[in-house]
Amino acid sequence: MRFAQKKQTMSNAGSSKRDRTEGDVLLEVNNLVKHYDTRSGLWGKITGNPGFLVQAVDGVSLTINRGETLGLIGESGCGKSTLGRSILRLHEPTSGTVIFDGTDVTKLDADALKKMRRRMQIVFQDPYASLNPRKTIEDIIATALRLQGLAKGSDIRGRVKQLLENVGLKPDYMNRFPHQFSGGQRQRIGIARALALNPEFIVCDEPVSALDVSIQAQVIQLLNDLKRDLGLTYLFISHDISVIGYVSDRIAVMYLGDIVETGPTKQILGDPQHPYTQALLSAVPRVDGTGKGNRVKLTGDLPSPINPPKGCKFHTRCPYAKEECQLKKPEHRELKSGSSVACHLVTRE
Amino acid sequence: MTEPQPILSISNLQTRFATRYGLVTAVDGVSIDVMPGECVGVVGESGSGKSVTFASVMGLVKKPGWIDGGSITFEGRELVGMSDRDYKSLRGKDIAMTMQDALTALNPALTIGHQIMEVLLTHDDELTGSARHRKRGARDRAIEMMMLVGIPSPETRLNDYPHQFSGGMRQRIMIAIALACRPKLLIADEPTTALDVTIQAQVLELIAEIRQKLGMSVILITHDLGVVAEYCDRVAVMYAGQVIESGPTKLVIGHPSHPYTQGLLNSIPNLANLDKRIRPIEGQVPELINLSPGCRFIGRCDVHESACAQQVEMQNIGQGRAVRCVLPRRNKQ
C-alpha cells in the first residue's frame, strides 16, 4: 500500500519514457573490453618497471531486457565491478559497444553522456566510503538534481524528502551527516541518491555485501519493492549466490573477465552446465546441510588477469579439462533451455 | 566412568569497556562449554559480542576493557586473572586463535617462514640442542605445516612475505601458525569471511580435516548459518552481548525456538526454494550502552509480551538445548 501511493507521485515527477512495454531490450553490451595498461606510464619510466596489461573485462556480451534483473556473479577479481562501471562509462571501455535504449553510450560526447546519466545510475558496495562525510544527507542526494538542473530552491527539499520516504527513512534525517547512520541506513541513502534522477536502469554493485544478514534482507526487500513500483531495470552484481538467486530473473556467471554461462535463474541454479558454475554453486554452504555431499572440489586460486591462462581460462582449475581446453577459447553456445554456455565439453543439444 | 569434562568452559562471563559515551557491556553473562574434539559454532551479527568473548578467553582484552565477572576454565585451569607470563605459555601452544583479517594479523615485514618458526621456537619442547639445530628443526616443521595446509612448493615460499600471497593463502598461513604447536583448541574468528566461496570451502574442509587428524576442539566464529550447519556439532547464537539460544546444530537450525534465530533464518534466501519470500527482521541491534534489564530483542520481536520487560534467563528446554526467551515456557503451560 505504502509503495503504491508513492508510485503515483514518483511517476508524475518522471517522464513518459517508462510507458514502453516491458520485455524489449534496454541494454545491449557487445564485446566489451576493459584493459588497464600500465606499460607506458610515467611511474614505469621512473622505476624501470615494465608494467602490466590487466585484462579485467575481456570481450563480454550481454543483454538486459526492460524491467528485468540480471544477476552478475563471480569471485573477487573476476572483473564484475569493472564491467558494471564500464557500462556506465565510469571507467572508459577499451573497446566494444554499450547500446542503451538504441543509443551507443560509448560514442556519446560529455554533454550527451551527462544527459544519459539521468537514465543510468549506480549503487555502490561500501556505504561507508561512498558517502561524503562532510556533507549532509540533503546535499548528498540533491547534488545530482542540482548538477542536472532538474530542480531548484524549495523543490529540491521536497524531492529529497520524498526520496528519503521512498527508501524508508524519516525525512527529518536530511540535515544529518553520514556518520550518524548505521550501515543499512547509509545504503538506503545511497539508493535514494541513485533514484534522485528517476533513472530507468541501476547498476547495483554488491549493495548488500557490507551488511549484516538481517539488515541485508531489509535492503534486498527495498530494492525489489522499488523495482516493482518504479519499473526499474537492474544489473545486480554480487558474489553471494543466494542473494543473486533471490533477486534475479536471469544470471550471468563471470570468470576472469569472461562470461562463462548465462541463463534463466532457475536453469542456472537448478541445472548448471559450465563446470565453473557447478563448482561455484556446490561450494555454497547450505543451511539445510545438503551442500556438503556433492561438492565439486576446485583446487588453487583464481589466476591473475595480468597473464590469464590460454584457451579456456578455467582449464587450470577445471576437474574435466581436456587438451582442447588449453588450446582453443570456447565460443558461447545457445542451449535449448535458454542458457548460453562457453565450454568445449557441453555439447550442442 | 566419569562424565567427560569440557576442555573449555566459559561461565557467566562479563566483559565491559569504558567509553566516553558510557559503560559498554560487550559480553553480558555468556556461558559456553566446549567438549574435547567438538566443533562449536558461535553465530551473531556485528556487535553481538562474539569476538570479544573469545578475545577474553585469549586474555587479549586490554584497557579500557576488562573482565568484570564470571569464569573461564581451560582443562580445569582458571584463566580469568591469570598473569601475562602464564598466558604466554598457553597462547599459541594449547589454545590458538586465527584472526578474521589475515593481512593485518600477519606481520608484513617478516617472511612467513619466520612467523611460523617463531611459534615453534617459543613453545615446542621437542626442539632441542644448539640454537642452529633448533632453528633447522623449526624450519622443517614449518615446511611440514605449510604442506599440511596446502601451500605449494613450501621450501621456496617460506622466504616470501605476506603481500606475496593471495587472501586464501594468507588465511592458510594463519592456520599453519595456529596449528604449528598442535593446540588442543583452535578458535577460528571468521576464518572465511574475506574469502570467495570456492576458497571458503577449501579452508573449511582443511580445518575439518586437521581437526579429525589431531583430535582438537574447534570454535568457529561466523555470521554464516550455512557454514555452521555444515561444520559444527553444536551452535550458540549471540545477540547484543548474550547467548540467546544454544544446542545441537541440527535442532537449532531445523527448529529454532528463539524469535531472533527464527528471524535470522527467514532473512536468508533459500537456494532450494527461491519462491519463498525472505522476511527481514525490522529495526536494528540496540546500542550496548544503558540497556534496559529486559529481553534485548524486545524492540524487534513480533511476539513479545509483558513478561519480556523483566530480565530473561537462559532456560533448558531439553535435548541439550537452552534458550533465553519466555515463549517456550509459556507454550508448555
B49 grid coordinates: 559480542
CA–CA distances in Å: residue B308 to residues B240, B305, B312: 15, 6, 7
Which residues, in sequence order, are bridge partners of residue A28? A63, A99
Same structural domain, A177 and A35: yes
Length of chain B equals 333
The verdict on a CB contact (< 8 Å) between B280 and A269 is no
| Cα A231 to Cα A219: distance, rounded to the nearest angstrom | 17
Same structural domain, A32 and A157: yes
| Cα A221 to Cα A29: distance, rounded to the nearest angstrom | 28
Cβ pairs A/B, distance under 8 A: 119
Chain segment A57-91, per-residue pLDDT in tens: 999 999 999 999 999 999 888 899 999 999 999 99
Same structural domain, A276 and A198: no
Same structural domain, A200 and A307: no
B167-170 long-range contacts, CB within 8 A, separation 24+: B167/A76, B167/B102, B167/B103, B167/B194, B167/B195, B167/B199, B168/A301, B168/B195, B168/B196, B168/B199, B168/B202, B168/B203, B169/A301, B170/B102, B170/B103, B170/B106
Strands B22-34 and B8-19 turn out to be antiparallel
Residue given cell 553520514 in the structure block: A178
What mean pLDDT is reported for chain B? 89
| Cα B56 to Cα B304: distance, rounded to the nearest angstrom | 32
Same structural domain, A332 and A237: no
- List B residues 237-256 in contact with A (Cβ-Cβ < 8 A): 250, 253
Structural domain includes residue B208: yes
The verdict on a CB contact (< 8 Å) between A269 and B271 is yes
Structural domain includes residue A253: no
Chain segment A265-311, per-residue pLDDT in tens: 999 999 999 999 999 998 888 887 666 667 787 877 778 888 889 99
Which helix (H) or strand (E) covers residue B254, if one does?
Answer: helix B249-254
Q: How many domains does chain A contain in total? A: 2
The predicted pLDDT at position A64 comes to 96
Tell me, what's the ipTM? Answer: 0.79
A57 grid coordinates: 573485462
Same structural domain, A69 and A150: yes
Length of chain A equals 349
Q: CB B76: neighbour CB atoms within 10 A?
A: 9
Structural domain includes residue A120: yes
Domain span including residue B243:
8-94+183-332
Same structural domain, A147 and A68: yes
The verdict on a CB contact (< 8 Å) between A246 and B278 is yes
Q: In the listed set A219, A248, A277, which residue is the last one of a domain according to the structure?
A: A248
The predicted pLDDT at position A290 comes to 67
Domain span including residue A166:
2-18+27-248
Q: Tell me the DSSP string of A122-191.
A: EE-S-TTTSS-TTS-HHHHHHHHHHHTT---HHHHHHHHHHHHHHTT--GGGGGS-GGGS-HHHHHHHHH
Least Cα distance to A29 among A303, A262, A199, A232 occurs for A262
Chain segment A201-217, per-residue pLDDT in tens: 999 999 998 888 888 99
* Residue A280 and residue B198 in contact, taking contact as beta carbons nearer than 8 Å: yes
* Residue B127 and residue B139 in contact, taking contact as beta carbons nearer than 8 Å: no
Same structural domain, A185 and A312: no
Chain segment B58-98, per-residue pLDDT in tens: 999 988 999 999 999 999 999 999 999 999 889 989 999 99
Q: What is the mean pLDDT of residues B288-309?
A: 86
Same structural domain, A46 and A110: yes
List of chain B residues whose C-beta atoms are within 8 Å of the C-beta of residue A280: 197-198
The predicted pLDDT at position A297 comes to 78
The verdict on a CB contact (< 8 Å) between B230 and A241 is no
Which residues, in sequence order, are bridge partners of residue B77? B74
**CATH number of the domain to which A75 belongs:** 3.40.50.300
Structural domain includes residue B158: no
The closest CB to that of A285, out of B229, B274, B285, belongs to B229
Structural domain includes residue B297: yes
Name A35's Cβ contacts closer than 8 Å, sequence gap at least 6: A53, A54, A55, A56, A58, A94
Least Cα distance to A174 among A144, A136, A132 occurs for A136
Residue A297 contacts B where some CB pair is shorter than 8 Å: yes
Structural domain includes residue A215: yes
Q: How many domains does chain B contain in total? A: 1
Q: In the listed set A205, A226, A248, which residue is the last one of a domain according to the structure?
A: A248
Same structural domain, A241 and A267: no
Chain segment B179-229, per-residue pLDDT in tens: 888 899 999 998 887 777 888 888 888 889 889 988 899 999 998 898 999
Structural domain includes residue A256: no
